[in-house]
Each structure stands twice: as C-alpha cells, then as structure tokens.
Amino acid sequence: MSRKFEIRKAARKKAKLRMGLGGASGFGKTYSALLIAFGITGDWTKITLIDTENRSADLYSDLGEFNVLPFDAPYPPEAYIEAINAAENAGSEVIIIDSITHEWDGEGGCLQIVDGLGGRYQDWGKVTPRHNKFIQAILKSNCHVITTVRKKQDYDMVKNERGRLEVKKVGLKEVTREGFEYELTLNFELMNDNHQAKASKDRTGLFMKKDGTNEPFIPTIETGQKLANWASSGVDEVEYICKSISDVKNRNDLLNIWKSNSHLQSNKKVIAKFVEIGLKYPAPPKDEKNVE
C-alpha cells in the first residue's frame, strides 16, 4: 500500500520546551529547575513540581507560591502519567518532574517490574511500551516540562599501561533509561555543588557553540527567560497548519495534513478550517472508486 507524504517548507514553530537537568545529590537540581521555570512563565502559581524526592520541594517555598504534587512510591510509568495529567488539568504552564529516576530505578519502577516478571529479556516486551507511554506523555504535554534525573558514579573496565584490565571511574551516569536525553530540547549537566552547569545537548543554540563547546554557567531566572523567548519566537503552529490547510489543492492533500497532525485534531480553530476547506473537496460518491 503506497503512502501519501506532505512536502512543505521548513519552518521552526513555537515550541513547548522539553528540558533535562542531571546531577549528583546536592548539586542543585530542584533549585535550578524552579528558577528556570519561573523565568519561563514569570508566575510562580503556574508552576507545578511533581515531587518524588521526599518533599524536598517544600524547602524552597520561600522562592514563591509554586504548586507541589507530592508523589510517593510505587513509581510505575502509569503513575507518572497520571501526575502529569493532574498538573496539566490544574492549569500549569511549566511542569517540573523531580525526578524521573524513580520511574526507572525506584520502588515499582521499570527495573523492578521486569524483575517481578522474571527478569528475562522477553519481559522487556511488556515493560518497554509502558515506559514509552511515559516518555510520550512528556513529549506531548501542552506545558513546558523540566525533568530532573539523579546521577551516580559510573565505572568501566579499561586496560592500564601494562595491558591489564582494571576498574576505572568514567564519570557520572544518569539513572534513567539510556537515550532519554535524545528526546529533549536541551539538557543541562550540573557539575558541582556550586550549581554550575554545562549543556550536554542544545537544540536552541543558546548555550552550546557550533563546535560543541560551551562554558560553565549557573542556571538562573534569566536562563528561563532566554529559553522562553526562544520557544515563542517561532511560527505559531496552529496558524501554520491552518494556512497549510487553506493552500491545499485537492482532498487527498487535505486528508494528509489532517492525519499527519493528530496532536492538533482537537483544536477548534484547526477543526473549523478543515471543515471550511473540506466543503470545497467533498468525498466522492460511494459508487465511485475511492483513490484516497
């Protein structure tokens, strides 16, 4: 069966940020996330922090009247999704998930679920789809999302100068499923207890130079403001899709746009424009061959 593809001009659209903050205990993940979140929205009451870290968010209540969603064990992916939905329904503009580590390596998290099923390779066939739904809940959220993740010392077996294998420290490793960083708009690594950070991934181009180098900095409210300006500087996605719908020349192209933008199919403006243009290209009679 052949597929229909939409070819369009490249355009950066206004975006909701998907941001990560990783670091060891005491490096300032929660504090930095809150400052950045306030910089993004400018309103503490529009921030909801999903707290899996033993009520640590309350230690920063002096910063402003942000919302806290306490989240205790167990930590299966579905519980995280419910927490994200609750934060969205509360009218949040920025959601901080502090932290995502428990979904992977916490009580009731993915690793423990696999162990409970028998710890076999094939058991991941049941757990991976559940983890992926959690990732999609973050990516498809209508809010800016900041995730924090714990880091722990990582080790590897390397050959020494005598050619013998020995255990060597190779840095800090994020405690979540490998590859999570690839899903993000940008990711900051907190380097020390002075809250200094470096960008390990940066699609915004604000913190990492083209050659991949970047200077350490301390995340502040101004960091969030820079990110908010970047996120809002693109083309409005709804306006862009409505214009694309208006420009179609036949029913097949119209349906292709609709199918390829499922995340906007509940938007009233998009629906209205689709109906308006759809009236120009009605479906063929049932007794005619449908080539769609």
Read off the pTM. Answer: 0.77
- What pLDDT, in 10s, does the model give residues 95-140? 999 989 999 999 999 999 999 999 999 999 999 999 999 999 999 9
My answer on whether 222 and 245 are in the same domain is no
My answer on whether 27 and 44 are in the same domain is yes
- What pLDDT, in 10s, does the model give residues 230-268? 988 866 777 878 888 888 888 888 888 888 777 778 888
Q: Give the CATH number, domain containing residue 24.
A: 3.40.50
My answer on whether 177 and 243 are in the same domain is no
Look at the chain and report how many structural domains it folds into.
2
Assigned domain for 12 exists: no
Comparing 137 with 282, which gets the higher pLDDT? 137
Token digits of residue 160:
């020494």
pLDDT at 12: 63
Tracing tokens 């402003």 back to the chain, one arrives at 64
Strands 186-190 and 18-23, bridge-based pairing: parallel
**Three-class secondary structure of residue 202 per DSSP:** strand
Cβ(87)–Cβ(95) under 8 Å? Answer: yes
Assigned domain for 287 exists: no
My answer on whether 169 and 103 are in the same domain is yes
My answer on whether 144 and 166 are in the same domain is yes
**Three-class secondary structure of residue 143 per DSSP:** coil
Residue 265: CB partners within 8 Å, gap ≥ 6?
258, 271
Q: Which of 231, 248, 265 is the last residue of a domain?
A: 231
Buried b vs exposed e over 51-88: b needs ≥16 C-beta within 10 Å? bbbeebbeebeebeebbbbebeeebbbebbbebbeebb
My answer on whether 185 and 262 are in the same domain is no
My answer on whether 74 and 97 are in the same domain is yes
pLDDT above 50 for 1? yes
My answer on whether 78 and 147 are in the same domain is yes
pLDDT band at residue 292, thresholds of 50, 70 and 90?
Answer: very low
My answer on whether 57 and 118 are in the same domain is yes
Question: Can you give the residue range of the structural domain that contains 262?
Answer: 237-278
My answer on whether 80 and 181 are in the same domain is yes
pLDDT at 2: 65
Residue 202: CB partners within 8 Å, gap ≥ 6?
186, 187, 208, 214
How far apart, in Å, are the Cα atoms of 180 and each of 20, 91, 101, 139, 184?
9, 26, 11, 11, 7
- CA dihedral (111, 116, 121, 122) positive or negative: negative
Residue 266 C-beta-side C-alpha neighbours within 13 Å: 2
pLDDT above 50 for 73? yes
My answer on whether 66 and 204 are in the same domain is yes
My answer on whether 266 and 187 are in the same domain is no
